[in-house]
Structure 1
Amino acid sequence: MKLRRQQSGLSMLSMLCIAVMVGFFVMCGIKMAPSYFEYLSVKEIMAKVAEEHDPEEQNIADIRRRIANLLNTNQVYGIKPQDVDVYRKEGKTYIDASYEARIPIMWRIDAVLKFDDLKYEAGSGLPL
């Protein structure tokens, strides 16, 4: 008597489940990519403003004006110039542009991207 060999491999239902999961993650990546690229632009702008700061010639209003101009020029809409904190502490000027981006994925599902490494000391282009 011969024994039947069991077939091995994925069924149509399991292939469909895998395709749906892969499609969901690809869709999430496509929707989140623009916010991430915008974050890279904001990071470059804040590093540039912090590096070019001259404390003897510029005050906080000048830094805010420079940030607003660069955000407008680069068409960054994820963060507004008034959301950027520029403050003095212990004789040094700091720039804090940390923000969150909320992206609707589908129905009641949102993705939240938190960009909290945008803190700079004016005069240095390196993040804190």
Structure 2
Amino acid sequence: MYKQEKGASFFSMLIVLMMAGTLLATAFKIYQPYLNHLTIKSVIENVTQDYDELRKPIPTIRADINKRLYINQVNLPTQDALVIVNDKGLLKFNLKYEVRLPMFFNVDAVIKFSEYYEAVVP
């Protein structure tokens, strides 16, 4: 009597490796937009906590944000991705945009980011 061998076959291991490779490739492609968003988020949070910056007019604040993003080698996807409004001494920063990444053949991944910040003008 022969004992039946147990274990993973070649094809099951091949399927597992293909799935792992696909997940790893996807993770590498979406890593950069998330890293860029963390940088953008950090810049805006720093601006909302800088009282000297909050005293400036909105176009100057926007220009300073763009300068900080340029230093960090990050750009907003569109100009209307960040909306800054002064509502009776309360600056409202609305960051909302999406990034579309080509994944495989005709499949794209869309990553949406939406952040909201408030700061009191000193």
What band does the TM-score fall into relative to the shorter chain?
Answer: 0.7 to 0.9
TM-score by length of 1: 0.81
Q: Which amino acid aligns with 1:100?
A: E
Structure 1 stretches of 5 or more lacking a match?
A: none
Alpha-carbon distance between aligned partners in 2 of 1:52 and 1:75, rounded to the nearest angstrom: 21
Q: Secondary structure at the match of 1:122?
A: strand
If each structure's helix is expressed as a fraction of its own residues, which one has the higher value? 2
Alpha-carbon distance between aligned partners in 1 of 2:41 and 2:51, rounded to the nearest angstrom: 16
Alpha-carbon distance between aligned partners in 1 of 2:51 and 2:95, rounded to the nearest angstrom: 16
Structure 2 stretches of 5 or more lacking a match?
A: none
**2:38 aligns with one of 21, 37, 40:** 40
Q: Secondary structure at the match of 1:46?
A: helix
Alpha-carbon distance between aligned partners in 1 of 2:44 and 2:102, rounded to the nearest angstrom: 27
- CA-to-partner distance for each residue in 1:11-60, whole Å, 9 max, x for gaps? 11111100000000000111111111111100100101111145883121
Query: Could you tell me which residue of structure 2 aligns to residue 13 of structure 1?
Result: 11
Query: Could you tell me which residue of structure 2 aligns to residue 122 of structure 1?
Result: 119
**1:104 aligns with one of 83, 102, 111:** 102
Q: Do 1:49 and 1:122's aligned partners in 2 also have CA atoms closer than 8 Å?
A: no
Are residue 27 (structure 1) and residue 29 (structure 2) matched? no
Q: Do 1:50 and 1:121's aligned partners in 2 also have CA atoms closer than 8 Å?
A: yes
**1:52 aligns with one of 40, 50, 53:** 50
If each structure's strand is expressed as a fraction of its own residues, which one has the higher value? 2
Quick one: higher RCO (CA 8 Å, sep 6+), 1 or 2? 1
**2:111 aligns with one of 102, 110, 113:** 113
Alpha-carbon distance between aligned partners in 2 of 1:56 and 1:14, rounded to the nearest angstrom: 59
TM-score by length of 2: 0.85
Alpha-carbon distance between aligned partners in 1 of 2:54 and 2:9, rounded to the nearest angstrom: 71
Q: Which amino acid aligns with 1:62?
A: T
Q: Pairwise CA RMSD of aligned residues? A: 2.2
Question: How many residue pairs end up in the alignment?
Answer: 121
